[in-house]
Amino acid sequence: MTTSPAPARPRRRAFLAGAAALAVAGGAFPAAPAHAVNATHTTVVSAKPAAWTPHALDGTVYRILQVGNRVYLAGSFTKVRNANTTAQLAMPRLVAFDATTGRIDTTFKPAVNGTVKALAASADGRSLYLGGAFTTINGVAAPRVARVDAATGARVAGFAPAALNNQVNDMRLVGNRLLVGGAFQTVGGVTRRGLAALNATTGAADASVDLRLDGARVTSSGATSPVKVEALDVSADGGRLVFAGNFSTVSGAARHQLAVADLGATGATLSGWATTRYQPQCAKTMPAYLRGVDISPDGAWFAVVTTGGPFPGTLCDTAARFEFGAATAGKQPTWANYTGGDTLLSVAVTGAAVYVGGHQRWLDNPSGRNSAGPGAVSRPGVGAINPTTGKALAWNPTKDRGVGTADLYATDRGLWLGSDTVTVAGEYHARVAFLPLP
């Protein structure tokens, strides 16, 4: 199977490590959860999924977020059901369930009229920010961003976001700024291509984040798309932003699909960190081919995953590690792991592993051309890479491939997978699975 364009994998996820348990029907909330990148693990997770997770029966799970003892799934699905039951529940695009038992909370039922692709929790854990393609929530206008009560799904009073004219693909909460990345070109009628910030309390546009993304890429066949951000991540200390998408310049400086910015009290400024490794073209049908980014728990480096096809000498169809180091140009990857012709959509760095997901067949396959080249190892749908060597780890639960694994999200209990498929480790786990730590 050749590489094909795939939806942006969202992207990475903020785990609220210090959150206390949320009662399923509106009880105690976490007091002041700590925002962080994917949880740090000292070992690789189990290859056998937990049996208690619920199932999404159609569409795709694009985003997973845990707050205390409650897990939220977001995506394009419309029906879900509990494990070991047959009753289907109409709960489109956003659902909550208990992180220990997997039981779906039928009282949390916001009405969202379009796909949800991004989630972030408020600092106190009492509310959720949503991003996606939707335009209303609970019957009220919500142009691609909304805020809802984490227990009931009701709209949070006083949050009236500035209108975005196209979808949101990813978001992070940093202090009182909600950073959003997507395909939008305007925010509140003002030009803000692909990346912007909103006031987390009011939803008003925050002009302090204006990095002026520009230069939509065009392939040799003329294929192009609007300037956009496919994925973004923020370091655990809130000081660095990494973002990837369709752009060639940021703040007037050359930045090919990938950029780093410094975040501070006064806003965002472009870092001197730069690489030209994503300047070359991959497939002629794909002007931009980066799909996921994730910063390491220690904040020293990050991983990037791509689509694009098997093109020698490029970083198409790879996972790659980059060090932050000095903020200079000419950065090269510490390592790159090649699929040999298949898309990677998602990545999660835990310390013990760099987990990657997509519709890949292999890892360790630099010589493969939609085939298993010398040294290739079978890793269908999901795999794990040694963070130091860049070689595939032995971990191999296997997964049906579909469009691919859209989200990987590590908590202190294990690793969540979100996708458009139904089989993990040979077992039925429709569109969501949890692989616990041993």
Residue 20 lies in a domain: no
Please spell the DSSP secondary structure of 157-203, one letter per residue.
TT--PPPBSS-EEEEEEETTEEEEEES-SEETTEE--SEEEEETTT-
CATH of the domain at 124: 2.130.10.10
User: 117 near 94, Cβ under 8 Å?
Assistant: no
Residue 9 lies in a domain: no
Would the pTM of this model clear 0.85, i.e. be above it? yes
Residue 238 lies in a domain: yes
User: 116 near 130, Cβ under 8 Å?
Assistant: yes
Q: Which residue has the tokens 């956009």?
A: 228
Residue 37 lies in a domain: no
Residue 162 lies in a domain: yes
Q: What is the CA radius of gyration of the chain?
A: 20
- In Å, what is the CA distance from 391 to each residue of 42, 131, 334? 18, 34, 12
Which residues form the domain of 326? 55-436
Tokens of 410: 């590590």
Mean pLDDT check: name the lowest of 4-18, 110-124, 338-352, 378-392.
Answer: 4-18
d(CA 22, CA 38): 20
Q: Which residue has the tokens 């393609």?
A: 133
- Write the pLDDT tens digit of every residue in 279-315: 999 999 999 999 999 999 999 999 999 999 999 999 9
**Mean pLDDT value of segment 173-185:** 97
Domains contained in the chain, number = 1
Tokens of 150: 């984490």
Say whether pLDDT at 9 is over 80. no
Tokens of 60: 């795709």
pLDDT at 1: 38
Residue 317 lies in a domain: yes
Residue 24 lies in a domain: no
d(CA 213, CA 228): 8
Residue 194 lies in a domain: yes
Please spell the DSSP secondary structure of 44-104, one letter per residue.
PPPSS--S---EE-SS-EEEEEEETTEEEEEES--EEE-TT----EE--SEEEEETTT--B
